[in-house]
Amino acid sequence: MTSLGIYIHIPFCIQKCLYCDFLSFPEGRQQQALYFDALKKEIESAADECGDYEVVSVFFGGGTPTSVEPQFIAEIMDILKARYNLSADAEITIECNPGTADFDALKLYHESGINRLSIGLQSAKDEELQRLGRIHNLSQFEECFKNARAAGFDNINVDMMSALPGQSLEDWKSNLEFVCKLDPKPEHISAYSLIIEEGTPFYQIYGDEAEQLEKSGDTTNVASENVYLPLPDEETERVMYRLTKAILAENGYHRYEISNYATKGFECLHNKRYWQGGDYIGFGLGAASLMRAERFHNTADFQKYLKCLSLDKNVSDDFRPESIREDIEKLDVKSRMEEFMFLGLRMICGVSVEEFKKRFDREIDEVYGDVINELVSDGLMIREGDSIRLIDKGLDISNYCMAEFLL
Protein backbone atom coordinates (compact mmCIF):
# COMPACT_ATOMS: atom_id res chain seq x y z
CA MET A 1 0.00 0.00 0.00
CA THR A 2 1.38 3.46 -0.91
CA SER A 3 1.92 5.80 2.00
CA LEU A 4 0.18 9.14 2.34
CA GLY A 5 0.52 12.24 4.47
CA ILE A 6 -2.50 14.34 5.35
CA TYR A 7 -2.30 18.07 5.93
CA ILE A 8 -5.23 19.82 7.52
CA HIS A 9 -5.37 23.59 7.39
CA ILE A 10 -6.95 25.57 10.21
CA PRO A 11 -7.00 29.16 8.93
CA PHE A 12 -7.77 30.84 12.25
CA CYS A 13 -5.69 32.71 14.74
CA ILE A 14 -6.23 35.12 17.59
CA GLN A 15 -4.27 37.85 15.86
CA LYS A 16 -2.08 37.97 12.82
CA CYS A 17 1.66 38.26 13.49
CA LEU A 18 3.43 41.09 11.72
CA TYR A 19 5.59 38.85 9.54
CA CYS A 20 2.99 36.19 8.72
CA ASP A 21 1.87 35.51 5.18
CA PHE A 22 0.06 32.28 5.85
CA LEU A 23 -3.58 31.93 5.02
CA SER A 24 -5.17 32.81 8.32
CA PHE A 25 -7.47 35.33 9.92
CA PRO A 26 -9.13 36.02 13.23
CA GLU A 27 -12.72 34.73 13.07
CA GLY A 28 -15.53 34.22 15.55
CA ARG A 29 -16.78 30.88 16.81
CA GLN A 30 -19.70 30.80 14.41
CA GLN A 31 -17.53 31.00 11.29
CA GLN A 32 -15.22 28.45 12.80
CA ALA A 33 -18.10 26.03 13.35
CA LEU A 34 -19.21 26.45 9.73
CA TYR A 35 -15.67 25.88 8.58
CA PHE A 36 -15.30 22.68 10.55
CA ASP A 37 -18.57 21.33 9.22
CA ALA A 38 -17.26 21.95 5.71
CA LEU A 39 -13.85 20.53 6.54
CA LYS A 40 -15.32 17.36 8.01
CA LYS A 41 -17.41 16.92 4.93
CA GLU A 42 -14.40 17.38 2.68
CA ILE A 43 -12.39 14.82 4.63
CA GLU A 44 -15.26 12.32 4.56
CA SER A 45 -15.78 12.78 0.84
CA ALA A 46 -12.13 12.17 0.05
CA ALA A 47 -11.91 8.97 2.06
CA ASP A 48 -12.67 6.75 -0.90
CA GLU A 49 -10.16 8.55 -3.08
CA CYS A 50 -7.56 7.75 -0.43
CA GLY A 51 -8.77 4.21 0.16
CA ASP A 52 -5.71 2.59 -1.37
CA TYR A 53 -3.29 4.63 0.73
CA GLU A 54 -1.88 4.00 4.17
CA VAL A 55 -1.83 7.26 6.11
CA VAL A 56 1.51 7.52 7.89
CA SER A 57 1.42 11.16 8.95
CA VAL A 58 -1.11 13.85 9.74
CA PHE A 59 -0.32 17.52 10.30
CA PHE A 60 -2.72 20.11 11.65
CA GLY A 61 -1.29 23.44 10.54
CA GLY A 62 -2.45 26.99 10.37
CA GLY A 63 -3.16 29.66 11.42
CA THR A 64 -3.25 28.39 14.93
CA PRO A 65 -5.04 25.03 15.10
CA THR A 66 -5.13 25.26 18.86
CA SER A 67 -7.01 28.54 18.75
CA VAL A 68 -10.27 26.77 17.89
CA GLU A 69 -12.35 24.59 20.18
CA PRO A 70 -10.33 21.44 20.87
CA GLN A 71 -13.45 19.40 20.27
CA PHE A 72 -13.40 20.42 16.57
CA ILE A 73 -9.97 18.85 16.22
CA ALA A 74 -11.01 15.72 18.09
CA GLU A 75 -13.94 15.28 15.72
CA ILE A 76 -11.61 15.41 12.74
CA MET A 77 -9.42 12.80 14.37
CA ASP A 78 -12.49 10.60 14.78
CA ILE A 79 -13.19 10.77 11.07
CA LEU A 80 -9.59 9.99 10.18
CA LYS A 81 -9.58 6.98 12.48
CA ALA A 82 -12.91 5.74 11.17
CA ARG A 83 -12.54 6.34 7.45
CA TYR A 84 -8.83 6.19 6.63
CA ASN A 85 -6.18 3.50 6.88
CA LEU A 86 -4.39 5.30 9.63
CA SER A 87 -1.18 3.50 10.41
CA ALA A 88 -0.77 2.48 14.05
CA ASP A 89 2.48 4.39 14.40
CA ALA A 90 1.45 7.38 12.29
CA GLU A 91 3.05 10.70 13.26
CA ILE A 92 0.22 13.09 14.04
CA THR A 93 1.26 16.69 14.69
CA ILE A 94 -0.64 19.77 15.74
CA GLU A 95 0.75 23.28 15.66
CA CYS A 96 0.19 25.25 18.80
CA ASN A 97 0.83 28.77 19.98
CA PRO A 98 1.47 29.45 23.65
CA GLY A 99 -1.54 30.96 25.32
CA THR A 100 -4.05 29.11 23.15
CA ALA A 101 -4.02 25.66 24.74
CA ASP A 102 -4.42 24.84 28.41
CA PHE A 103 -3.69 21.51 30.01
CA ASP A 104 -7.18 20.12 29.36
CA ALA A 105 -7.01 20.99 25.70
CA LEU A 106 -3.58 19.46 25.32
CA LYS A 107 -4.80 16.36 27.08
CA LEU A 108 -7.76 16.13 24.76
CA TYR A 109 -5.51 16.41 21.70
CA HIS A 110 -3.26 13.70 23.04
CA GLU A 111 -6.16 11.42 23.85
CA SER A 112 -7.60 11.91 20.39
CA GLY A 113 -4.45 10.34 18.96
CA ILE A 114 -2.29 13.37 18.26
CA ASN A 115 1.25 12.43 19.29
CA ARG A 116 3.42 15.36 18.27
CA LEU A 117 3.18 19.00 19.25
CA SER A 118 4.81 21.86 17.39
CA ILE A 119 4.98 24.99 19.51
CA GLY A 120 5.63 28.38 17.98
CA LEU A 121 7.94 30.10 20.42
CA GLN A 122 10.07 32.13 17.95
CA SER A 123 11.93 34.03 20.66
CA ALA A 124 12.72 33.66 24.35
CA LYS A 125 12.61 37.43 24.89
CA ASP A 126 9.39 39.23 25.58
CA GLU A 127 10.47 42.39 23.81
CA GLU A 128 11.31 40.43 20.66
CA LEU A 129 7.99 38.62 20.83
CA GLN A 130 6.23 41.91 21.11
CA ARG A 131 8.09 43.31 18.09
CA LEU A 132 6.96 40.34 16.03
CA GLY A 133 3.36 40.91 17.04
CA ARG A 134 3.14 37.59 18.87
CA ILE A 135 0.24 37.16 21.27
CA HIS A 136 2.20 35.40 24.01
CA ASN A 137 5.07 35.97 26.35
CA LEU A 138 7.82 33.66 27.51
CA SER A 139 6.15 32.52 30.71
CA GLN A 140 3.08 31.43 28.74
CA PHE A 141 5.35 29.28 26.64
CA GLU A 142 6.94 27.73 29.70
CA GLU A 143 3.55 26.86 31.05
CA CYS A 144 2.45 25.45 27.72
CA PHE A 145 5.54 23.33 27.41
CA LYS A 146 5.16 21.98 30.93
CA ASN A 147 1.49 21.16 30.32
CA ALA A 148 2.31 19.46 27.05
CA ARG A 149 4.76 17.15 28.74
CA ALA A 150 2.25 16.50 31.48
CA ALA A 151 -0.44 15.75 28.92
CA GLY A 152 1.77 13.04 27.51
CA PHE A 153 3.49 14.62 24.53
CA ASP A 154 6.90 13.01 24.16
CA ASN A 155 7.61 14.44 20.73
CA ILE A 156 7.67 18.21 20.76
CA ASN A 157 9.01 20.70 18.28
CA VAL A 158 9.80 24.30 19.11
CA ASP A 159 9.90 26.92 16.32
CA MET A 160 12.57 29.59 16.68
CA MET A 161 13.23 32.58 14.51
CA SER A 162 16.57 34.29 13.93
CA ALA A 163 17.60 37.50 12.19
CA LEU A 164 14.87 39.45 13.96
CA PRO A 165 14.94 43.25 13.84
CA GLY A 166 17.50 44.49 16.31
CA GLN A 167 18.62 41.00 17.23
CA SER A 168 22.29 40.52 18.10
CA LEU A 169 24.30 37.33 17.95
CA GLU A 170 24.17 37.18 21.73
CA ASP A 171 20.40 37.55 21.72
CA TRP A 172 20.01 34.66 19.34
CA LYS A 173 22.47 32.52 21.19
CA SER A 174 20.67 32.97 24.47
CA ASN A 175 17.33 32.18 22.82
CA LEU A 176 18.67 28.87 21.57
CA GLU A 177 20.26 28.08 24.90
CA PHE A 178 16.97 28.72 26.63
CA VAL A 179 15.30 26.09 24.45
CA CYS A 180 18.10 23.60 24.96
CA LYS A 181 17.84 23.98 28.72
CA LEU A 182 14.16 23.08 28.86
CA ASP A 183 13.75 19.92 30.86
CA PRO A 184 13.19 17.57 29.26
CA LYS A 185 14.34 19.44 26.21
CA PRO A 186 12.24 19.33 23.00
CA GLU A 187 12.91 16.50 20.60
CA HIS A 188 12.94 18.78 17.60
CA ILE A 189 13.78 22.40 16.84
CA SER A 190 12.95 24.38 13.71
CA ALA A 191 15.20 27.41 13.41
CA TYR A 192 14.35 29.80 10.63
CA SER A 193 15.67 33.14 9.76
CA LEU A 194 12.97 35.74 9.39
CA ILE A 195 11.73 36.17 5.83
CA ILE A 196 10.21 39.51 4.91
CA GLU A 197 7.21 38.39 2.89
CA GLU A 198 5.28 40.66 0.59
CA GLY A 199 1.88 41.72 1.81
CA THR A 200 2.81 41.62 5.49
CA PRO A 201 3.14 44.64 7.78
CA PHE A 202 6.83 43.81 8.07
CA TYR A 203 7.17 44.18 4.32
CA GLN A 204 6.04 47.76 4.57
CA ILE A 205 8.65 48.45 7.17
CA TYR A 206 11.48 46.25 5.98
CA GLY A 207 10.76 45.52 2.31
CA ASP A 208 13.39 47.91 0.92
CA GLU A 209 15.94 46.90 3.47
CA ALA A 210 15.43 43.20 2.76
CA GLU A 211 15.70 43.77 -0.97
CA GLN A 212 18.91 45.70 -0.55
CA LEU A 213 20.34 42.99 1.68
CA GLU A 214 19.55 40.41 -0.94
CA LYS A 215 21.11 42.44 -3.70
CA SER A 216 24.30 43.69 -2.14
CA GLY A 217 24.66 42.13 1.29
CA ASP A 218 24.51 45.40 3.19
CA THR A 219 22.03 48.17 3.75
CA THR A 220 24.36 51.11 3.47
CA ASN A 221 22.33 52.53 0.61
CA VAL A 222 19.01 52.39 2.39
CA ALA A 223 17.95 55.59 4.03
CA SER A 224 18.01 54.85 7.72
CA GLU A 225 15.08 57.04 8.62
CA ASN A 226 13.33 53.91 9.83
CA VAL A 227 12.25 54.39 13.39
CA TYR A 228 12.15 50.61 13.66
CA LEU A 229 15.12 48.51 14.63
CA PRO A 230 17.19 47.45 11.62
CA LEU A 231 17.49 43.89 10.31
CA PRO A 232 20.83 42.22 11.02
CA ASP A 233 23.14 42.43 8.03
CA GLU A 234 23.85 39.44 5.86
CA GLU A 235 27.09 38.59 7.59
CA THR A 236 25.47 38.50 11.03
CA GLU A 237 22.58 36.52 9.70
CA ARG A 238 24.92 33.86 8.31
CA VAL A 239 26.89 33.71 11.53
CA MET A 240 23.61 33.14 13.35
CA TYR A 241 22.87 30.24 11.07
CA ARG A 242 26.22 28.64 11.72
CA LEU A 243 25.99 29.31 15.40
CA THR A 244 22.63 27.56 15.41
CA LYS A 245 24.16 24.44 14.00
CA ALA A 246 27.01 24.48 16.48
CA ILE A 247 24.94 25.16 19.59
CA LEU A 248 22.28 22.65 18.70
CA ALA A 249 24.88 20.03 17.87
CA GLU A 250 26.41 20.49 21.33
CA ASN A 251 22.98 19.83 22.73
CA GLY A 252 22.36 16.64 20.83
CA TYR A 253 20.43 17.93 17.82
CA HIS A 254 21.52 17.16 14.30
CA ARG A 255 20.62 19.31 11.37
CA TYR A 256 18.70 17.25 8.82
CA GLU A 257 17.27 20.04 6.66
CA ILE A 258 18.12 23.66 5.93
CA SER A 259 16.16 24.89 8.95
CA ASN A 260 15.34 21.73 10.90
CA TYR A 261 17.13 19.99 13.75
CA ALA A 262 16.19 16.86 15.67
CA THR A 263 17.41 14.50 18.33
CA LYS A 264 18.00 10.96 17.17
CA GLY A 265 14.85 9.34 15.82
CA PHE A 266 12.72 12.47 15.94
CA GLU A 267 12.99 13.96 12.46
CA CYS A 268 9.59 15.12 11.30
CA LEU A 269 8.23 12.39 9.03
CA HIS A 270 5.50 14.57 7.66
CA ASN A 271 7.80 17.33 6.49
CA LYS A 272 10.35 14.89 5.09
CA ARG A 273 7.59 13.58 2.89
CA TYR A 274 7.43 16.99 1.16
CA TRP A 275 11.13 16.93 0.40
CA GLN A 276 11.21 13.30 -0.65
CA GLY A 277 8.35 13.55 -3.09
CA GLY A 278 5.91 11.37 -1.16
CA ASP A 279 2.19 11.77 -1.79
CA TYR A 280 0.18 14.00 0.48
CA ILE A 281 -3.31 15.41 0.47
CA GLY A 282 -4.30 18.73 1.95
CA PHE A 283 -7.72 19.39 3.44
CA GLY A 284 -9.16 22.76 4.23
CA LEU A 285 -8.81 26.23 2.87
CA GLY A 286 -5.91 26.69 0.44
CA ALA A 287 -4.32 23.35 1.37
CA ALA A 288 -1.91 21.91 -1.18
CA SER A 289 -1.68 18.32 -2.37
CA LEU A 290 0.54 16.01 -4.35
CA MET A 291 -1.35 12.91 -5.34
CA ARG A 292 -0.50 10.48 -8.10
CA ALA A 293 1.95 12.90 -9.70
CA GLU A 294 -0.56 15.77 -9.66
CA ARG A 295 -0.11 18.97 -7.75
CA PHE A 296 -3.12 21.06 -6.84
CA HIS A 297 -4.46 23.12 -4.00
CA ASN A 298 -7.85 23.94 -2.58
CA THR A 299 -9.44 27.30 -3.12
CA ALA A 300 -8.19 30.03 -0.83
CA ASP A 301 -11.56 31.77 -0.96
CA PHE A 302 -13.30 31.18 2.34
CA GLN A 303 -16.83 31.79 1.06
CA LYS A 304 -16.28 29.65 -1.98
CA TYR A 305 -14.95 26.86 0.18
CA LEU A 306 -18.01 26.97 2.41
CA LYS A 307 -20.34 27.21 -0.54
CA CYS A 308 -18.89 24.26 -2.43
CA LEU A 309 -19.15 22.20 0.69
CA SER A 310 -22.75 23.29 1.14
CA LEU A 311 -24.08 22.16 4.45
CA ASP A 312 -27.36 21.10 2.92
CA LYS A 313 -27.50 17.45 4.00
CA ASN A 314 -29.63 16.53 1.03
CA VAL A 315 -27.00 17.26 -1.52
CA SER A 316 -24.08 15.93 0.44
CA ASP A 317 -23.57 13.19 -2.10
CA ASP A 318 -23.12 15.75 -4.82
CA PHE A 319 -19.95 17.21 -3.43
CA ARG A 320 -16.89 16.40 -5.49
CA PRO A 321 -13.53 17.36 -4.01
CA GLU A 322 -12.51 18.48 -7.50
CA SER A 323 -14.89 21.43 -7.29
CA ILE A 324 -12.66 23.21 -4.77
CA ARG A 325 -9.34 22.21 -6.31
CA GLU A 326 -7.36 24.69 -8.33
CA ASP A 327 -4.20 24.86 -10.43
CA ILE A 328 -4.16 21.14 -11.08
CA GLU A 329 -0.82 20.41 -12.59
CA LYS A 330 0.21 17.02 -13.89
CA LEU A 331 3.90 16.51 -13.25
CA ASP A 332 5.78 15.04 -16.16
CA VAL A 333 9.00 13.10 -15.77
CA LYS A 334 11.05 16.26 -16.22
CA SER A 335 9.23 18.11 -13.45
CA ARG A 336 9.46 15.09 -11.18
CA MET A 337 13.20 14.81 -11.71
CA GLU A 338 13.62 18.53 -11.03
CA GLU A 339 11.60 18.32 -7.84
CA PHE A 340 13.43 15.22 -6.75
CA MET A 341 16.60 17.27 -6.90
CA PHE A 342 15.60 20.68 -5.66
CA LEU A 343 13.50 19.38 -2.79
CA GLY A 344 15.80 16.50 -1.95
CA LEU A 345 18.79 18.79 -1.71
CA ARG A 346 17.11 20.70 1.09
CA MET A 347 17.95 17.74 3.27
CA ILE A 348 21.42 17.42 4.67
CA CYS A 349 21.57 13.78 3.60
CA GLY A 350 20.88 14.97 0.05
CA VAL A 351 19.53 12.72 -2.68
CA SER A 352 20.23 9.08 -3.37
CA VAL A 353 21.71 8.01 -6.68
CA GLU A 354 19.99 4.65 -6.38
CA GLU A 355 16.63 6.21 -5.60
CA PHE A 356 16.88 8.43 -8.68
CA LYS A 357 17.49 5.39 -10.85
CA LYS A 358 14.66 3.51 -9.21
CA ARG A 359 12.17 6.32 -9.78
CA PHE A 360 13.11 7.46 -13.25
CA ASP A 361 14.90 4.48 -14.70
CA ARG A 362 17.83 6.67 -15.69
CA GLU A 363 21.27 7.28 -14.27
CA ILE A 364 21.47 10.55 -12.38
CA ASP A 365 24.72 11.41 -14.15
CA GLU A 366 23.12 11.03 -17.52
CA VAL A 367 20.71 13.82 -16.60
CA TYR A 368 22.64 15.95 -14.14
CA GLY A 369 26.27 14.86 -14.42
CA ASP A 370 27.56 18.21 -15.63
CA VAL A 371 25.68 20.25 -13.06
CA ILE A 372 26.80 17.98 -10.23
CA ASN A 373 30.42 18.12 -11.32
CA GLU A 374 30.33 21.88 -11.56
CA LEU A 375 28.79 22.35 -8.14
CA VAL A 376 31.24 19.85 -6.66
CA SER A 377 34.20 21.67 -8.20
CA ASP A 378 32.82 25.01 -6.92
CA GLY A 379 32.96 23.52 -3.42
CA LEU A 380 29.21 23.67 -2.91
CA MET A 381 28.31 20.00 -3.10
CA ILE A 382 29.84 16.65 -2.35
CA ARG A 383 29.30 13.17 -3.56
CA GLU A 384 29.80 10.30 -1.14
CA GLY A 385 28.85 6.80 -2.16
CA ASP A 386 25.16 6.79 -2.93
CA SER A 387 24.57 10.30 -1.68
CA ILE A 388 24.81 13.66 -3.40
CA ARG A 389 24.37 16.58 -1.07
CA LEU A 390 25.02 20.26 -0.54
CA ILE A 391 27.61 21.20 2.03
CA ASP A 392 27.40 24.28 4.24
CA LYS A 393 28.54 26.74 1.61
CA GLY A 394 26.08 25.26 -0.88
CA LEU A 395 23.26 25.28 1.64
CA ASP A 396 23.84 29.00 2.24
CA ILE A 397 23.14 29.63 -1.42
CA SER A 398 20.90 26.67 -2.05
CA ASN A 399 18.59 28.54 -4.43
CA TYR A 400 21.51 29.25 -6.69
CA CYS A 401 22.45 25.56 -6.65
CA MET A 402 18.92 24.24 -7.00
CA ALA A 403 18.11 26.43 -9.98
CA GLU A 404 20.83 24.56 -11.83
CA PHE A 405 18.75 21.40 -11.62
CA LEU A 406 15.88 22.79 -13.64
CA LEU A 407 16.00 21.17 -17.04
Partner 1 sequence: MSEFDQSKIRNFCIVAHIDHGKSTLADRMIETTGVLTSREMQNQVLDNMDIERERGITIKSQAVRMVYKAKDGEEYVFNMIDTPGHVDFGYEVSRSLAACDGAILVVDATQGVEAQTLANVYLALDHDLDVFPVINKIDLPSARPDEVKEEIEDVIGIEAHDAPLVSAKLGTGIEDVLEAVVHRIPAPTGDANKPLKALIFDSVYDSYRGVIVFVRVRDGVLKKGMTAKCMASGASWEVVEVGYFGPGQFIPCDELSAGSVGYFTASIKNIQDARVGDTVTDALNPCEEALPGYKKVMPMVYCGLYPADTARYPELRDALEKLQLNDASLFYEPETSQALGFGFRAGFLGLLHLEVIQERLEREYNLDLVTTAPGVVYKVHKTDGTVFDLTNPANLPDPAEIEFMEEPIVNGEIMVTTDYVGSIMQLCQERRGRYISTEYIEATRAVLKYELPLNEIIYDFFDALKSRSRGYASFDYEIKGYEQSTLVKLDILINHEQVDALSFIVHKDGAYDRGRKMCEKLKGEIPRHLFEIPIQAAIGGKVIARETVKAMRKDVLAKCYGGDISRKRKLLEKQKEGKKKMRQIGSVEIPQQAFLSVLKLDEGN
The site for partner 1 (CB under 8 A) is made up of: 5, 7, 192-193, 195, 214-218, 234-235, 237-238, 258-259, 271, 274-275, 280, 282, 286-290, 295, 297, 327, 329, 338-339, 342-343, 346, 378, 380, 395-400, 402-404, 406
Give whichever of 54 and 211 is closer to partner 1, judged by the CB atom: 211
Length of the chain: 407
Minimum gap (Å) between residue 87 Cβ and partner 1:
19
Minimal distance, residue 270 CB to partner 1, in Å: 9
Are 68 and 12 a contacting pair, CB within 8 Å?
A: yes
Q: How many angstroms separate the CA atoms of 151 and 109, rounded?
A: 9
> In sequence order, what are the beta bridge partners of 372?
none
Burial (CB count <10 Å: 0-12, 13-18, 19+), residue 275:
buried
Rounded distance between C-alpha atoms, residue 167 and residue 160, angstroms: 13
Residue 102 C-beta: closest distance to partner 1, Å: 28
CA distances from 142 to 100, 148, 155, 185 (A): 13, 10, 16, 12
Contacts of 329 (CB under 8 A, 6+ apart): 294, 295, 296
Q: Smallest distance from the beta carbon of 389 to partner 1, in angstroms? A: 15
Of 361, 363, 381, 362, residue with least CA distance to 371: 381
Cβ nearer to partner 1, comparing 192 with 360: 192
CB closer to partner 1, 108 vs 161: 161
Min dist. Cβ of residue 317 to partner 1 (A): 29
Of 229 and 331, nearer to partner 1 (C-beta) is 331
Q: Cβ closer to partner 1: 165 or 286?
A: 286
Question: What letter represents residue 61's amino acid?
Answer: G
For the beta sheet containing 351-352, the strands, ordered from the edge strand earlier in sequence to the opposite edge, are 351-352, 387-390, 381-384
Smaller CB distance to partner 1: residue 98 or 344?
Answer: 344
Choose between 127 and 214: whose C-beta lies nearer to partner 1. 214
For the bound state, the minimum distance from the C-beta of residue 119 to partner 1, rounded and expressed in Å, comes to 17
Q: How far is CA 208 from CA 167, 203, 212, 223, in A?
A: 18, 8, 6, 9
Other CB atoms within 10 A of residue 312 CB: 8
Least separation, in Å, of the C-beta of 286 and partner 1? 7
